[in-house]
């Protein structure tokens, strides 16, 4: 059973590493953005609510996000574990997730935090925006997103650090290098890739 979270600033390659982790550990990548889009596309009752809120330009409230996550981690493919990406975002969501997992006799095993120098990320994203002609991605906008991320996630990161769940990994470098750092850090915690777990059981 491998239940983990991944957090990291915009531009640190979180999405790329999330897909690597889920492939290596045989668990689904549960991104709240993907959950919202799937529910909207399938026009579920919750999806209809979310669409109305998003169309109005408002934030989806914790209660609705919690319900969507609850439904998603109850699905068959998440029974043996999952990687949550983009959730929890608030302390209220942290407490809800605690209660939800506890009610199912489950717990988180690790919280992977991709750490990257802010100036390095700003430089990288600014360069990418220029190359791709993305005028909306100004240096000012990029810095603002970094500040919002820090403000939102710092309290959550502190909670998981106090619980001894936080694994800080240098997010800068080649994709394979970062993936190997994550794998090594998880192995140190006794969290093995799916292939090695199968061998140890055999």
In the residue annotation, 134 being an active-site residue is answered as yes
Count of beta carbons in the 10 Å neighbourhood of residue 17: 24
Q: At residue 1, does pLDDT exceed 50?
A: yes
Residue 202 lies in a domain: no
d(CA 86, CA 143): 19
Strand order in the sheet with 81-85: 29-31, 81-85, 2-7, 110-115, 166-170
Catalytic residue among 107, 128, 161, 189: 128
Q: Of all residues in the chain, what percent carry a pLDDT higher than 70?
A: 97
Does 151 qualify as catalytic in the annotation?
Answer: no
**Which residue did the predictor score with more confidence, 177 or 142?**
177
Catalytic residue among 37, 51, 143, 145: 145
What's the pLDDT score for residue 201?
Answer: 42
What is the pLDDT confidence band of residue 138, given thresholds at 50, 70 and 90?
confident
pTM, rounded to two decimals: 0.87
Residues 21 and 14: beta-carbon distance below 8 Å: no
Catalytic residue flag (residue 72): no
Q: Does 148 map to a domain?
A: yes
In degrees and rounded to multiples of 5, residue 30 shows phi and psi of -105, 100
Number of domains composing the chain = 1
Q: Is residue 128, in this structure, part of any structural domain at all?
A: yes
CATH number for the domain harbouring residue 166: 3.40.50.300
Range of the domain at 85: 2-189
Eight-class DSSP state of 49: H
């Amino acid at each position: 059973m491998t239940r983990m979270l991944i957090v990291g600033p915009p531009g640190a390659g979180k999405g790329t590493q999330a897909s690597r982790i889920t492939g290596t550990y045989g668990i689904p990548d549960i991104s709240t953005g993907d959950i919202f889009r799937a529910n909207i596309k399938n026009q579920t009752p919750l999806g209809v609510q979310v669409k109305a809120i998003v169309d109005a330009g408002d934030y989806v409230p914790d209660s609705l996000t919690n319900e969507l996550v609850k439904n998603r981690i109850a699905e068959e493919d998440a029974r043996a574990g999952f990687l949550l990406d983009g959730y929890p975002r608030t302390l209220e969501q942290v407490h809800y997730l605690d209660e939800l997992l506890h009610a199912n006799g489950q717990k988180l095993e690790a919280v992977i935090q991709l750490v990257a120098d802010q100036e390095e990320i700003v430089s990288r994203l600014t360069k990418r925006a220029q190359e791709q002609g993305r005028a909306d991605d100004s240096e000012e906008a990029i810095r603002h997103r970094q500040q919002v991320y820090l403000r939102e996630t710092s309290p959550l990161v502190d909670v998981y650090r106090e619980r001894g769940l936080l694994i800080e990994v240098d997010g800068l470098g080649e994709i394979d290098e970062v993936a190997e750092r994550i794998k090594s850090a998880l192995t140190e915690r006794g969290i093995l890739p799916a292939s090695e777990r199968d061998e140890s059981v055999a």
